[in-house]
Structure 1
């Protein structure tokens, strides 16, 4: 029983001191979100660079996987996909704005196709017809907007999505931090008495 009490005290001490670090992280994430909203050009550039780096990393791993594969099945497919990933990543790193814009266009295409399927499902289905139809039309409008918007509008939309995502994530982390702080405070009062 004494060992459980010691473990509980160590756990409380960790949660009591961890909330400050989580709150600092939350504030940093919120600030990044506001920077992304305030400067869509920098957000587009960063997103393009990250996309290029990820594609190159994927390509290298796919090539290594294809070359070191023990079986011949799928070996050349992996190598070709790896080469394609490295080349595409290199092109995107050469022009990161094009990578960011292509990402927005891919999202627009996905929303457009998803919206068409939602509308078709709403027409054929018997349940949730109104909601499915509304969501499908919304997806079609948003997807069409993203597909046919100019490059500047695409970068602003990407920055808005990234910025809002970071802000919401930061607010969530702040709530977690304050929750940990609240949990640690009554326990400290009990250990002092």
Structure 2
């Protein structure tokens, strides 16, 4: 009977998620997932509230998935990242659960998710002193906080106004996240790392 010497080693799902979460391409994917709905909202300003709620709900679900995987790429405290991921998924579910909700309800959900996510991400960036490109991560977090405050403080009176407002902030945040992903790629190349063996920036 053949021995077990030739048996392939078991694949650790957590290790695979960690490698994926440390990849700059994964961070860039999250940025694209933010940019796409923002661009759609800006070029399609007459979208109905129903479609907008579905679009934002799907965006939050996808971003929640990206941030969940990114958590495994961190060597520091993962709890803040998990909080952000769960919050995004919860917000997405709330948007999709009742797509015929009011404009104010949709604004409240999106604004609250952005505000809390930005605060948690900023806390992570401040607490992790050795984080690569810490300033870029902090800038993205501050942008999220400002976006959340603006959406909550300036209630839109129509679906068109809300679409333009959310579209603008999604594009700005997507561009900032893309800059963070490219900065992380630059850091990996300067360090001579071709794989994903270094801890990535906080989500």
TM-score computed with the length of structure 1 as normaliser:
0.37
More helix by share: 1
Larger radius of gyration: 1
